[in-house]
Amino acid sequence: MTPLVEVAGLRYSYDDGTLALDGVDFRLDPGETVALLGANGSGKTTFVLHLNGLLAGEGTVRICGLERTRQHMDEIRRKVGMVFQDSESQLFMPAVLDDVAFGLLNGGMEPSRAVELAREALRQVGMESASAKAPYHLSAGEKKRVAIAGILAMSPEILILDEPTTFLDPPGQRALASLLSGLSQAKILVTHDIPFARAMCSRAVFFERGRIAAEGTVDELARRFDWDQ
């Protein structure tokens, strides 16, 4: 099976010299949902920002067989969809449908086709009825669904979600888990939410001081690192 993500020896330092990633090796196979666990500042978010080219450190990163080079970057960014912790950072247009269609239009797609795909993505997340609403009128859970729709409209092969349950109440968390479980894409979840990770993920890795300290099931790592929150 050809992996969707292959990372070897990834190192990255911030401008102030702080070593954020110190030789990370990682693999994501088709159909997997993997949790990235670890304390704040352990390197999780820095790591996933390398997967769609927002950061570029030393080491090897391949996405769907494509090495992370300038010539492949546009294609890689189409294959890797990232949903950020704060959905409002991805929602900035006057209406929900405009937000979901934005990436397609920005990529040069013909408007009627972009709207068609945006409506289909909204149907997929159960938000088509909100297409004319202003995003700021939505609940936190609805904003999360619209942010995911904007990514799904781009037909990615990999979904990365950074702290997806932040701002969601328990019913919203359950609804999000149900939605994500029904999506065919491989997924990487950066999370502190062990119950959510347990419900979603077949495998987990634990980041510590810029390295992957261990991997296994969510329960194994939660027990080993006393991380059952």
Range of the domain at 69: 5-90+156-224
Q: Residue 92: pLDDT above 90?
A: no
Query: pLDDT-derived band of residue 153, with 50, 70 and 90 as boundaries?
Result: very high
Query: pLDDT-derived band of residue 37, with 50, 70 and 90 as boundaries?
Result: very high
**CATH number of the structural domain spanning residue 51:** 3.40.50.300
Total number of domains in the chain: 1
Residues 98-143 pLDDT 10s: 999 999 998 889 999 999 999 999 999 999 999 999 988 899 899 9
Residue 96 lies in a domain: no
Query: pLDDT-derived band of residue 229, with 50, 70 and 90 as boundaries?
Result: low
Residues 168-224 pLDDT 10s: 889 989 999 999 999 999 999 999 999 999 999 989 999 999 999 999 999 999 888
Question: Cα 221 to chain center, whole Å?
Answer: 21
Residue 114 lies in a domain: no
Average pLDDT of the segment spanning 43-53: 93
Residues 55-66 pLDDT 10s: 999 999 999 999
Q: Which amino acid is at 90?
A: Q
Residue 51 lies in a domain: yes
**pLDDT value at residue 228:** 62
DSSP letters of the chain?
---SEEEEEEEEE-TTS-EEEEEEEEEE-TT-EEEEE--TTSSHHHHHHTTTTSS--EEEEEETTEES-GGGHHHHHHHEEEE-SSGGGG--SSSHHHHHHHHHHHTT--HHHHHHHHHHHHHHTT-GGGTTS-GGGS-HHHHHHHHHHHHHTT--SEEEEESTTTT--HHHHHHHHHHHHT--SEEEEE-S-HHHHHHH-SEEEEEETTEEEEEE-HHHHHHHTT---
Residue 210 lies in a domain: yes
Residue 145 lies in a domain: no
> What is the reported pTM?
0.91
Average pLDDT of the segment spanning 25-50: 94
Average pLDDT of the segment spanning 6-13: 96
Residue 72 lies in a domain: yes
Residue 70 lies in a domain: yes
**pLDDT value at residue 224:** 86
